[in-house]
Amino acid sequence: MTSHDTVLELHDVTSRRDGTQILDGIDLTVRAGEHWALLGPNGAGKSTVLGFCGALTFPTSGTVDVLGRRLGRVELQELRRHIGHVNPRHPVRSPLTVTEVVLTGVTGTLEPPMRWEPEAEEVRRTRELIHSVGLDERRDARWPTLSQGERGRALIARALVSEPRLLLLDEPTTGLDVAAREQLLETIDGLSHSAPELASVLVTHHLEELPETTTHALLIAHGRTVSVGGIDDAVTTETVTRAFEHAIRVEKADGRWSARALRERVGGLP
C-alpha cells in the first residue's frame, strides 16, 4: 500500500468535553480495502472516534485526515459527500419508499429535496443497490412497514449510492433478531467483492456482530487504546479481558467471533 491508499488517519487524537477527558492519544490508520472494527465497552469513546472519522466533530488536539484532507482545513459538507454512514437510528419522518430513502443518499438529506429529480444513472445505481441488499420486492414499500432488518439493509444501500470511499457503520445490528442480524452481516460481507477498494469502520461492543470480512480492529477503553492492528492479533482473550475489565474468553470459528465469561482468572482479573 502507498500513502495514496490511506483513507483515514488519526494521529495522537485527544478529546475533552466540559473538562472531562473523552479520548487520550488515539492513533488509527485505515487504508483502502480494509475493514475495521472499533470495539470497546459502553462509554469507551467509540462514538467520539466515529465522529472524527465522519468529519462530524473536531479533536481537542492531534490531527485527523479523512480522504487526504485535514479536518480544520477543508469544507466539511463536500468531504462528507464521500463518506457513507449507516446509523440504525437514522430518522425517516415521512412514509418514504425504500427507493426514496436510498435516493436521499445522493443528496445527503433526510427528505428528497423539493423539485429535485434524480438523473438516470442515479436511478439505475439505486435499483442496483436495492437488488444487491435483497430488497427488490420491497423497493416500493413504505418505511413504516419495513422490519428493522429491512431498514438496516436499505440504509446500507443509501450509504453506498453516492459511491463513497469510506463507509461507517454505527452498531448496524442494533435491535435485530438473529436471522435479520445474519442477513445484514452477509450484506456487509458482500461489499468486499462488490466494492473491493471501499474502506469501512464498524462500531460494536459485541464480537458476535463482527462480519467475517473484518480485517483489523481498534480496541479502546476509558478513551485509550488497548490494542490495534490485524484482527487476529488485536482481538484476543487477553485484550478483550483488559478492555472490558472482566475475564472473557474469545474464540473464532468459521470466520466468526464469540465471547463468554471465563470462570478462571485471566490477567489478575476476577
pLDDT of 175:
84
pLDDT of 269:
55
Q: What is the DSSP letter of 124?
A: H
Burial group, residue 65, by CB count within 10 angstroms (0-12, 13-18, 19+): middle
Q: Which of 109, 137, 163 is the last residue of a domain?
A: 163
Whether residues 172 and 243 fall in one domain: yes
Whether residues 159 and 191 fall in one domain: no
Write down the residue that cell numbers 490531527 correspond to: 63
258 - beta bridge partners? 251
Whether residues 140 and 215 fall in one domain: no
Give domain status of residue 247, yes or no: yes
Write down the residue that cell numbers 425517516 correspond to: 92
Whether residues 145 and 202 fall in one domain: no
C-alpha cell belonging to residue 96: 418514504
C-alpha cell belonging to residue 155: 440504509
Whether residues 77 and 185 fall in one domain: yes
Give domain status of residue 28, yes or no: yes
Q: Which of 121, 138, 163 is the last residue of a domain?
A: 163
Give domain status of residue 138, yes or no: yes
Cβ pair 118, 94 in contact under 8 A: no
Whether residues 101 and 77 fall in one domain: no
Whether residues 26 and 116 fall in one domain: no
Ranges of the chain whose pLDDT falls below 70: 1-4, 264-270
- Tally of domains in the chain: 2
Q: Which of 163, 186, 208 is the last residue of a domain?
A: 163
Give domain status of residue 25, yes or no: yes
The span from the CA of 136 to the CA of 138, in Å, is 5
pLDDT of 203:
95
Edge-to-edge strand list for the sheet holding 35-39: 83-86, 166-170, 199-204, 35-39, 216-221, 224-230
The span from the CA of 229 to the CA of 231, in Å, is 6
Give domain status of residue 113, yes or no: yes
**Domain span including residue 185:** 1-82+164-270
Cβ pair 259, 248 in contact under 8 A: yes
Q: pLDDT tens, 139-167?
A: 999 999 999 899 999 999 999 998 999 99
pLDDT of 268:
52
Cβ pair 52, 71 in contact under 8 A: yes
pLDDT of 3:
45
Instruction: Please tell me the pTM assigned to this model.
Output: 0.89
Sign of CA dihedral 146, 148, 153, 157: positive
Whether residues 172 and 146 fall in one domain: no
The span from the CA of 15 to the CA of 19, in Å, is 10
* Residue 69: CATH number of its domain: 3.40.50.300
